[in-house]
Amino acid sequence: MKTSDLIAALAASDAAPVRPAAPAFRLAPAALIGACAAGIVLALWLGFQPLTAAVGASWFWMKAGYSLAAALAGFLLLIRLARPGARPGLAGAGIAVAAFVVIWMMAMDASMRAGAAQAPALWLGSTWRVCPWRILALAAPIYLAVIVVLRRLAPTRLSLTGAAAGLLAGGLSAAVYGLYCQENTAPFVAVWYSLGIAVSALAGAFAGPRLLRW
Amino acid sequence: MGLGYALKRYAVTIRIELTNNSPLEAQLKALMIAAQAGDAQAQSRLLTQLAGRLRAYFGRRLTGRADDVEDLVQEALLAIHVKRATYDPRFDFTPWAYAIARYKLIDHFRRSGGRINIALDDAGDLFATENPEEGAVRRDVASLLARLPLRQRALMRDVKLEGHSMEEAADRAGMSVTAVKVSVHRSMQRLMKEVDDEDV
């Protein structure tokens, strides 16, 4: 086919008006639907902890805050990366770094206060072996929901986009997992929640180029 | 200086400032906004303009593989059409189009199993900008072209510098393809003769 014919065909057959896509308004609902799916999976799989007691505890909100900050960072990166030619910007990366620094400062502080004898219990809790993998598992439905939307947009840096989608999914997944998880120390969150979120981002970066090609 | 060489270098480096108020950016952006609104004519003018630039851009990176180049041009045009809703009119158009061209090029290399080594440069490569080193060459070529009659000059610019096909140039000038070929050929002969005379 000659290029001039292609252009004529495209203009003639298919020049319907389009509305400029707003990635934020498409990605946010997808992420929420994915998070609801993850919540349902969690309810069927492990159940929730007694939430009326948990929401009164500061450690519950410390975990939720850290997880949601990671999700927000991924979201901000993603709405830029979903469009060709837009730079990822510093806001997303900045929030991720800031959240990480803050949780680690809280962790170090708690660990030093506890003293050498108590500290290992704070860092390891009782579920450190399973926590990151559960976060990764619950991130899967969120990641997939986000990918479905991203495929209709036009990311051009697929690994980076996949990583940002994984960060968003991992952060939301960790927040959902907090509905079950009763670990209540900053050192635990700083290591094992971070690890679960990081593994999600890594898996997202790996899968991105395969799932997002267009 | 060899004329063919100078033309080639000039074609690689004619660059137009890429700011909000660059005429090219403004023109393409206006066409894109009209195309998004469903204006088929704007759409086809936009794609025609981009086709020439894409051909030159891919051509420089896939020398000697004209078929691949044309395939890539068409793929990029199709992508620009299909994904036109992802262009946000609050931002410049040229970086958007460049990102798609670059993406299609990388995708091509990936599929063909070649090594990928494309700098993450800005849209300047597709939409051409300033390069101080090339100033001299550019002045020479500009002054050479100035010796041609207006009509021939426009054709030379379209075909030799901007990488449009003979067909496209004919379209734009409202001439037959044969007439364009003859004109470009004569222009080249005349310029070569003049350059040779000067060099001696």
| Residue in this structure with the two tokens 């890594």, named with its chain if needed | A202
Alpha helices in chain B (DSSP H): 3-13, 23-36, 40-61, 66-82, 94-111, 124-127, 135-145, 150-156, 166-173, 177-199
CB A173 within 8 A of CB A142: yes
Tell me the CA distances in angstroms from B109 to A3, A54, B64, one per residue in order. Answer: 21, 53, 15
Residues A51 and A97: their CA atoms lie apart, in Å, by 29
Q: Which residues of A touch B51 (CB under 8 A)?
A: 3-4, 7
Domain range summary for chain A, segments of one domain joined by +? 22-212
Cross-chain Cβ contact B96/A153 below 8 Å: no
Per-residue pLDDT of chain A (214 residues; tens, 9 = 90+): 788 888 888 887 767 888 888 899 999 999 999 999 999 999 999 999 999 989 999 999 999 999 999 999 999 999 999 999 988 889 999 999 999 999 999 999 999 999 899 999 999 999 999 999 999 999 999 999 999 999 999 999 999 999 999 999 999 999 999 999 999 999 999 999 999 999 999 999 999 999 999 9
| Residue in this structure with the two tokens 């003018």, named with its chain if needed | B45
Closest among B85, B89, B77 to B168, alpha carbons compared: B77
| Residue in this structure with the two tokens 């931002």, named with its chain if needed | B91
Domain covering B132-199 in this structure, CATH number: 1.10.10.10
Write phi, then psi, for B123 (nearest 5 degrees).
-65, -10
Domain range summary for chain B, segments of one domain joined by +? 17-127, 132-199
Instruction: Encode pLDDT of B110-133 as tens digits.
Output: 887 755 555 555 555 677 644 444
Q: What is the ipTM of this complex?
A: 0.87
Minimal C-alpha gap between A11 and chain B (Å): 5
Residues B175 and B169: their CA atoms lie apart, in Å, by 8
| Residue in this structure with the two tokens 């997944």, named with its chain if needed | A173
Cross-chain Cβ contact A84/B99 below 8 Å: yes
Instruction: Encode pLDDT of B32-47 as tens digits.
Output: 999 999 899 999 999 9
User: Does the domain at residues B17-127 carry the CATH identifier 1.10.1740.10?
Assistant: yes
